[in-house]
């Protein structure tokens, strides 16, 4: 619906600036920015290996692959259901394969790189990268799941 300038001006006559700002924040564009900001916050929490709900509790015991069952701060249960972290394995695989591809393809294009060097580097990365990104893939998976299925009350 198109309104003339006069209609808009008379419509908001007597309305405070605070009310206009509040109405502007309700606009869809601002809601999209808020959603994007919330997604960045949640992915940041996943990369920092902290609770996706409160952002303070740790996900893992220090220097171990063992994960806490719940957040020490807010009580959020990390594994929502049996098989919950199957998606984390997919995230881990995708990240490891992308990084391996980024390294191995340019390496294979080098004239000095022998087939043995390429195979050994690919083999080493296919073993090391999933181990290095194991913890972060679980954090990213929890963040992604929290974006798609947020928890109302903890």
C-alpha–C-alpha distance, residues 41 and 60, integer Å: 19
Please determine, for residue 28, whether its predicted confidence score (pLDDT) is greater than 90. Answer: no
- What tens digit of pLDDT does each residue of 98-154 get? 999 998 888 888 888 888 988 898 899 989 999 999 999 999 999 988 888 887 654
C-alpha–C-alpha distance, residues 94 and 7, integer Å: 54
pTM of the model as a whole = 0.69
pLDDT at 20: 45
- What tens digit of pLDDT does each residue of 51-86 get? 988 888 898 988 888 888 888 998 888 888 888 889
Cβ neighbours of residue 85 closer than 8 Å, sequence gap 6 or more: 79, 138, 141
CA-to-CA separations, 71 to 74, 100, 125, 148, in angstroms, rounded: 6, 33, 32, 20
Task: Tell me the three-class secondary structure of 76-104, residue by residue.
Answer: CECCCCCCCCHHHHHHHHHHHHHHHHHHH
Cβ neighbours of residue 148 closer than 8 Å, sequence gap 6 or more: none
Residue with tokens 């198109």: 2
């Amino acid at each position: 619906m198109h309104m003339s300038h006069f209609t808009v001006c008379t419509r908001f006559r007597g309305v405070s600036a605070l009310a206009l700002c509040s109405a502007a924040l309700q606009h869809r564009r601002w809601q999209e920015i808020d959603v994007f900001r919330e997604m960045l916050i949640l992915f940041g929490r996943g990369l920092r290996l902290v609770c996706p709900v409160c952002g303070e509790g740790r996900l893992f015991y220090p220097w171990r692959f063992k994960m806490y069952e719940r957040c020490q701060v807010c009580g959020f249960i990390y594994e929502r259901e049996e098989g919950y972290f199957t998606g984390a394995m997919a995230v881990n695989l995708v990240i490891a394969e992308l990084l391996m591809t980024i390294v191995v393809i340019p390496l294979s294009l080098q004239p000095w790189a022998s087939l043995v060097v390429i195979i050994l580097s690919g083999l080493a990365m296919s073993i090391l990268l999933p181990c290095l990104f194991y913890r972060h893939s679980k954090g990213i998976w929890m963040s992604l799941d929290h974006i798609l299925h947020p928890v109302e009350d903890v």
